[in-house]
Amino acid sequence: MKCQACSREAQDKYCKYHGRALQGLQEHYKVWEKAYGQISWLDFLARLLEMKETGTWAKEVISAELKK
């Protein structure tokens, strides 16, 4: 199957690069939930997408996640 964020061959939903980026996002999400209280996964992603600190890999994963 192909990565949902790029066209690389992937074992899973995402290739290893985007898979790693998604993992980082999930960890970041847990930290945010603790710090700021309830925020949905999609709201969290939408916010990160607007931040310039967010890396390119992460943004590509976010775009793919938000498309669903």
- Interface with Zn ion (CB under 5 A): 3, 5-6, 8, 15, 18
CB of 66 to Zn ion, least distance (A): 15
User: In terms of CB distance, is 18 or 58 closer to Zn ion?
Assistant: 18
Task: Say which amino acid occupies 23.
Answer: Q
- Let me know: does 25 contact 48? Beta carbons within 8 Å: yes
DSSP state of 67: T
At 9 the three-state DSSP class reads strand
User: In terms of CB distance, is 2 or 40 closer to Zn ion?
Assistant: 2
CB of 48 to Zn ion, least distance (A): 17
